[in-house]
Chain A
Amino acid sequence: MLSPKDIDNLAELARLDIPADEKETLRKEVDAILGYVSEVQKLSGGEVKKVAGEVRNVMREDVNPHLSGAYTEELLAEAPRRQDNFVKVKKIL
């Protein structure tokens, strides 16, 4: 059973501001869903054997970089706040 404190803790971890009047409903809903998905624990079966699939080691060679600044303007244009060529955020320290 999830407690109201659990919900507060999870919201904190997920950086979510959950309105006070929604917390109890959310607690009950998440509890019900966890009750259902706990079903997986009934199925026996041990560790997952790590099998390498066909897709592996797909890193590309670090060659042919694009021109510095080629996408800067387009990407920065989408940031809510910017200053010159930086994304602007509030003071961190």
Chain B
Amino acid sequence: MKIDLSKLSITTAHEHLTRGDFSARELAEGYLSVIEKKNPEINAYLEVFDDVLDQAHEADKRIADKKEVGLLTGIPLAVKDNILIKGYRCGAASKILEGYHAPYDSTVIQKLKAQGAVFLGRTNMDEFAMGSSTENSAYGPTKNPHDTSRVPGGSSGGSAAAVAMDGALAALGSDTGGSIRQPAAFCGLVGFKPTYGAVSRHGLMAMGSSLDQIGPLTKTVGDAEIIFNAIRGKDPNDSTSRDFPDSSKKPLRVGVLTHFLHESQARSIDKQVFDNLGEAAKIVGDFGETVDIKLSDNPPLGYSLATYYIIMPAEVSSNLARFDGMKFGALEEGGNLMEDYFKTRGRLFGKEVRRRIILGTYVLSSGYYDAYYNKANVVRSLIQKTFENIWEKVDVLMTPTTPTPAFKIGEKTNDPMQMYLADIFTVTANIAGVPAISIPSGFAEVDGKKLPLGIQFMAPHGREDILFEIGKKFEKISS
């Protein structure tokens, strides 16, 4: 049969594959031909693997033998360039890892390989996942398939664009402050950040270790759930990972976060985004009870972004110390050992990475440590406590995913603070460690183009089940 990639989900593709309507090889060929046609302009992929058809052939054998066939057998996936796949190049879109090949499989890749998933290639991203537009890649920006003059979001922008252009059925990304959910919203996809600890980060290049999670970008909530179930679980190689008990479902009470920003920040929120939240709340009202949660009653939430931009750079400055031109990647030679360090790190890290390392070095330095890093940890615990109070009133908290639809390429590159504000709704979940999902919620009209918007749901730790349940109901009514 002729494959209509735009209509496929993992669930339907799996049915077709097991029924024999088409083979994994034909499916992979379909995606490869789209990539060949669209990737030169979109720049979603940094590399398309040369053994895709061999991988698909292996999946076809499994399906033919009816042996070890899972929901992801033969499903073509894109993988963010900071997740290791043994033997392949991996570089976090940074010059400092030029030439680096992964010596082992990350845990998530091991688990997907066990299911027989097909990896199409590695996707573009902001260097070391630092950014909200994919413009901080050392290999050029990715373009938004909905409007190529605009960014796809970031840092998992390549993964989002790959799925949105029908160049992959789903993709893996990483989310430290919104890097899965924000690009998913900009590209009209589902983006899911699991509870901190739900998915192993072994083999993910660390950015902010108390914040990072791996998760899927997909076309449907059901697909996100399938990938999450495949990659979750405790892993001895990631000491922060753990299993969460299955919880019994509760009636849905949905808190809608209102009056959510300081006035100074409110100016950067698009009116269409406000209106969209109202419409989304109405949809939710069809199947659940909505409760107004006022920011003014929960003041610590308003400090999430400031807290994030202290804790994250502090962890960045420490995590990126390992890139020194000695152990892996590229080396810029100097006259002596010290110059090797300075040149390698100074020349091969991009501007945003250097900026965050400097910032992190500052907030951790003696004399400022208490005023910044320690204080941020105090605020973090207040934010976590605020969530505990909110969960006594509601099961889910709903906000927009982003303050605006996708912005123009180049619009925010000269103003880091403006770029950081793109994460204002998403960072809260990382600071609190709670799971969060972004689901397509309609479009904003800008310059005659329809740009996707996303709505975000957050739930208590380990309660992904609530997000999937409400997400599926929302998706059904809104689409």
Contacts and interface: CB of A to CB of B under 8 A. Distances in A.
Interface in B363-406: 363, 365, 371-372, 374-382
Given A80-B329, A89-B340, A30 B100 contact: no
Contacts of B351: 22
Contacts of A2: 362
B357 A30 contact: no
A26 B327 contact: no
A10 B365 contact: yes
A1 to B, nearest CB: 13
A22 B240 CA distance: 38
Interface stretch (B10-18, B186-194, B305-313): B305-313
Given A16-B357, A29-B355, A43-B300, A80 B325 contact: yes
A15 B324 contact: yes
A76 B294 CA distance: 55
A47 to B, nearest CB: 7
A81 B240 contact: no
Contact of B382 (A38, A45, A89, A90): A45
B62 interface: no
B103 interface: yes
A59 B365 CA distance: 29
A63 interface: no
B326 A78 contact: no
> A interface, how many residues as a size bin?
35 or more
Contacts, number: 143
A49 B239 CA distance: 22
B358 interface: yes
B25 interface: no
A32 B376 contact: no
Contact of B362 (A10, A39, A45, A89): A10
Interface stretch (B132-140, B156-164, B341-349): B341-349
Contacts of A89: 326, 337, 340
Which one of B103, B240, B347, B365 has the greatest number of beta carbons of chain A within 10 Å? B103
Contacts of B326: 79-80, 87, 89
A18 B337 contact: no
A37 interface: yes
B309 A37 contact: yes
Contacts of B363: 37
Contacts of A52: none
Interface string A30-41: 101110111111
B371 A41 contact: yes
Contacts of B306: 36-40
Contact of A10 (B346, B361, B372): B361
Contacts of B278: none
Interface string B262-302: 00000000000000000000000000000000000001100
B20 interface: no
A87 B328 CA distance: 10
A16 B417 contact: no
Contacts of A13: 361, 365
Contacts of B410: none
A3 B307 CA distance: 24
B379 A43 contact: yes
B101 A78 contact: yes
Contacts of B239: 55, 58-59
A92 B242 contact: no
Contacts of B362: 2, 6, 10, 30, 34
A55 B242 contact: yes
A59 B239 CA distance: 8
A40 B314 CA distance: 15
A49 B362 CA distance: 24
B329 A48 contact: no
B106 interface: no
23 contacts: A10-B358, A11-B346, A13-B365, A14-B317, A14-B358, A15-B338, A16-B354, A19-B346, A26-B355, A29-B417, A34-B359, A36-B417, A37-B306, A40-B310, A43-B300, A43-B378, A46-B378, A58-B240, A78-B100, A79-B326, A87-B326, A90-B336, A90-B337
Given A37-B307, A58-B240, A80-B328, 15 more contacts: A38-B306, A40-B375, A41-B375, A43-B303, A43-B378, A45-B378, A46-B378, A49-B381, A78-B101, A79-B326, A80-B326, A80-B329, A89-B326, A90-B340, A92-B337
The list of the 10 closest CB pairs from A to B, nearest first, reads A17-B346, A80-B331, A17-B342, A58-B239, A78-B328, A90-B337, A74-B103, A39-B306, A15-B341, A37-B306
